[in-house]
Structure 1
Amino acid sequence: MLAWLETTGIAALWVVAIARAPQGLRDRSQRPLWLAIVMIALAMSIHLEPVTAALGHLVPDEHWIDLTKHLFSIIDAAAVLWFIFGAADRHRHTALVFCTAATVMSALVLLDLGAPGHARNQITGSAATPGVPLAYWWLFFVFHLVADTTCGVVCWRYGRQDTPRLLRLGLRLFGTGTLLASLLWVLKLVYLHTRSTAVCLWFSPVTGVEAWFMAIGAALPVVIQLRAHRRYRRTYRRLAPLWHDLTAASPDVVLTPDNRLWEAAMPLQLRLYRRVIEIRDAMIVLRNYVTPAALEAVHRHVAEQTVPEHLVNAHVTACWLTAALDARRNGRPPHSQTVNLAGPAANDLTDEIEHLLRVADAYRSPSLRTYKAALSAAAP
């Protein structure tokens, strides 16, 4: 009845794996988790009945299909554990993980080859049906139980560290998914002991819920990336009017010629960084066109307006930039500037952007329109 949970959960994992592929391939720090998602989605997919049936058309002996799936799932569990350790900067466990996996795989092959002739590697309903020995299943299930539980614990512990809130939540959801996988192996151990068909009914829904938790947890970094992209886009557009006027007056500060194709190929964050640099360089050029009298008039004008205290500096900057643009446009010569007009010192790019955004908002404010009207009225 809940079989759809498994199918949709695995499909969601594949969607997330594809969505994260560009970042996973490009960013070395993101690659381990992305590879883990791909391996989990692949391992879950090959256990679906349609996939097993398709493999049956390619390989006539179903016994070898079963054994290959089991061996691949061991590789998958070891790889995921390795990827999670790598994401948590615990690379020292690599040798232990893969040596243990190789030992388990070798033991499974030996147990399979030593068993009486059997058509499938499945838990048989009765002792009369030939199959692999119980040791095969105990070893197989316990390895997965330990690997998945370890993954879940590492994700939860790593998720408590000083990481962004959404990323922390993503790690915990992904870790919950791997702990649900541990529940699946516990259920299979119970079935191995009891052979109760009631236990089998839980295999598919638990797998589906596990897949959904992993998919949602792995998708949250994509959400963070989309939110950051939207924030960069909004900032880039808010700076556009100020940037356009300043670079039109000082075209030499533009780092590269206006080329829409080249600009579209450049990452948005890099374009925003370039725009900040060009605005700052233009401000350095234009400040030499501000006379002491003009600067004094700017301070008087801002003091007369109802400008909040924390925005006074931004409005002063927007006004003296307007005065400088007007002076340059009217052909007045530059002169050496002794007053510091750079604004408050910025600790990093984020502070710099916040300051320029306040200036850009002030540049479009009613206060500045009043100042422009006063400049026009005072023009000879």
Structure 2
Amino acid sequence: MNVYLHPVCAVVAWLAFGYKLSALRKSPRDYALIALCGALMCSALSFTVSHPYVWGYVDRLFGFPNSAALVSMVCVVLVLTNQQIVLTFWAHPPERAWRRARPRVLAAALVLAALITLFAMTAPSEPRPKDFSLHYAGHPLYAVYLLIYLVFYTIGEIETARLSQRYAKVSHRLWLRRGLRLTAVGAWTTLGFSLIRITDVILSPYAVDLRPLEPVAWVCGDVGALLTHVGWTLPGWGPTLNAPRRWLRAWRQYRRLRPLWNVLHELAPMIELTAPANGFWSRFRPSTLEFKLYRQVIEIRDGQLALRSYTDPEAVRTATELGRRAGLTGKELQAIEEAAQLASMVRARERNVPPSAHPAPRTVTGPQGADLTDEIDWLVKVAETMNSPYVAAGVEGSTTP
């Protein structure tokens, strides 16, 4: 099974490492990012050297049989330690994070020392790239070696899962929460691997053959690792999955605001800002269209400000009263009021009605303190409300010539 799953895990891990390494170049003093790159690199090395085709090359490189097994397990210990360091630095200030990380680093150092010592004492001489753990599980020293490794592995994965779930609950970033939850799922999944391995070590003196469960163990270990690789990198590339939806939403809003912008631009051409030069492909990016949409909103507000002296208070009062009589309240009635303001401005300007000597002090009736996204949604609503019969009746029924 590892012949097929390990290459996939290795490729994904190397890609994830390269992806985060590019981010590390921009933030070389980000300790959490350094630890994450270390975890991904060690995971990639572990899967690479564990592949049967690479196993022999590693043995020849180090000069003793099954050295690939030791290298792989050392890498896994480093993966688990670095993962917990990442979560610690994400959750605490650097000074406090260092204090919390030291016991984990010390525990990893002791485990590594024990593994290297016991492996040297065991001296497994027969190369077993496909079933190393199963073949040597009955050896007393190797059983101790494997139990130390598996206990650390199990505790490390439980800690990673537990901390990921805890920090996902308090994170304010959507894709970070999703990434942490996926990492937790992956960590819990890998426990199937350690459970089968521990059971095999305990039952090996009784000649219990757990080889039928070997594929299950590898699936749990490798699929769990894949999920954690995706989870660690998801906060970085996850938002791009929303790109098509963002582009479509911005395009719809842009189209709905365009008629209002056209009218205001025709009456007050000075509201149009100088557009930046964009390449051919940049126009298809969501950020480019969103920028044009933001400009459109700003220019519409500038147009309202430039034409506010043409507001017909009587038309606004009439339209608002008609809406109130129809049972409209809250934002629906506010939209009628602002739409009537805009419509009366446009009509007065088109008919060359002299501006008021005392311009309306307020033309915006939308939600106060809203962010730009809410502002766009509000203006779209107002633009569509300008076609309301209450607005038309208020503007046409006004006594202003």
Q: TM-score, normalised by structure 2?
A: 0.70
Contact 2:136 2:142 (8 Å CA) reproduced = no
Contact 2:179 2:234 (8 Å CA) reproduced = yes
Hey, what does 2:220 align to over in structure 1? Answer: 206
Residue 199 of structure 2 corresponds to residue 190 of structure 1 = yes
Residue 51 of structure 2 corresponds to residue 49 of structure 1 = yes
Per-residue displacement from partner, 1:92-123 (whole Å, max 9, x unpaired)?
Answer: 42222223323333333344445547355843
Against the structure 1 CA distance between its residues 257 and 293, is the aligned structure 2 distance closer, same or farther, given a 3 Å change threshold?
same
Contact 1:158 1:171 (8 Å CA) reproduced = yes
Hey, what does 2:346 align to over in structure 1? Answer: 325
Contact 2:154 2:194 (8 Å CA) reproduced = yes
Contact 2:179 2:231 (8 Å CA) reproduced = yes
Contact 2:190 2:223 (8 Å CA) reproduced = no
- For structure 2, the residue ranges without an aligned partner over 5 or more in a row are none
SS for the counterpart of 1:125 is helix
Distance 2:150 2:395 in 1: 79
- 1:361 maps to a residue whose letter is E
Hey, what does 1:267 align to over in structure 2? Answer: 287
Hey, what does 2:275 align to over in structure 1? Answer: 257
Against the structure 1 CA distance between its residues 8 and 65, is the aligned structure 2 distance closer, same or farther, given a 3 Å change threshold?
closer
Distance 2:144 2:346 in 1: 83
Larger deviation: 40-49 or 337-346? 40-49
Of residues 215, 229, 234, the one that matches 2:249 is 234
Of residues 111, 114, 125, the one that matches 2:135 is 125
Contact 2:323 2:333 (8 Å CA) reproduced = yes
- 1:205 maps to a residue whose letter is V
Against the structure 1 CA distance between its residues 44 and 356, is the aligned structure 2 distance closer, same or farther, given a 3 Å change threshold?
farther
- 2:302 maps to a residue whose letter is D
- Aligned-pair CA distance for 1:287: 1.6
Distance 1:248 1:15 in 2: 52
Larger deviation: 76-85 or 46-55? 46-55
- For structure 1, the residue ranges without an aligned partner over 5 or more in a row are none
- 2:190 maps to a residue whose letter is A
Contact 1:35 1:83 (8 Å CA) reproduced = no
Q: How many residues align?
A: 377
- Aligned-pair CA distance for 1:317: 1.7
- 1:257 maps to a residue whose letter is A
SS for the counterpart of 1:267 is helix
- Aligned-pair CA distance for 1:52: 2.9
Contact 2:81 2:156 (8 Å CA) reproduced = yes
Contact 1:10 1:212 (8 Å CA) reproduced = no
Distance 2:203 2:41 in 1: 31
Sequence identity percentage: 20
Contact 1:25 1:31 (8 Å CA) reproduced = no
- Aligned-pair CA distance for 1:150: 0.6
Per-residue displacement from partner, 1:289-331 (whole Å, max 9, x unpaired)?
Answer: 2244454555467568786764222133223213323444555
- Aligned-pair CA distance for 1:357: 2.8
Residue 355 of structure 2 corresponds to residue 341 of structure 1 = no
Hey, what does 1:288 align to over in structure 2? Answer: 309
Larger deviation: 257-266 or 141-150? 257-266
Of residues 351, 376, 379, the one that matches 1:356 is 379
- Aligned-pair CA distance for 1:48: 5.6
Distance 1:284 1:35 in 2: 52
Of residues 93, 97, 115, the one that matches 2:100 is 93
Hey, what does 1:78 align to over in structure 2? Answer: 81
Distance 1:84 1:292 in 2: 59
- Aligned-pair CA distance for 1:229: 6.8
- Aligned-pair CA distance for 1:144: 1.4
Against the structure 1 CA distance between its residues 71 and 202, is the aligned structure 2 distance closer, same or farther, given a 3 Å change threshold?
same
- Aligned-pair CA distance for 1:147: 0.9
- 1:207 maps to a residue whose letter is G
Contact 1:3 1:205 (8 Å CA) reproduced = no
Against the structure 1 CA distance between its residues 41 and 107, is the aligned structure 2 distance closer, same or farther, given a 3 Å change threshold?
closer
Larger deviation: 288-297 or 222-231? 222-231
Distance 2:45 2:9 in 1: 13
**Could you say what the CA RMSD is over the residues aligned between the two structures, in angstroms?**
4.9
- 1:145 maps to a residue whose letter is T
Contact 1:6 1:205 (8 Å CA) reproduced = no
SS for the counterpart of 2:365 is coil
Distance 1:214 1:101 in 2: 20
Contact 2:308 2:363 (8 Å CA) reproduced = yes
Distance 1:80 1:29 in 2: 12
- 1:93 maps to a residue whose letter is R
Hey, what does 1:106 align to over in structure 2? Answer: 113
Q: TM-score, normalised by structure 1?
A: 0.73
Distance 1:39 1:248 in 2: 59
Distance 1:126 1:36 in 2: 30
Tell me which of the two structures has the higher relative contact order, counting C-alpha pairs closer than 8 angstroms and 6 or more residues apart.
1
- Aligned-pair CA distance for 1:257: 2.1
- Aligned-pair CA distance for 1:178: 0.5
- Aligned-pair CA distance for 1:267: 2.9
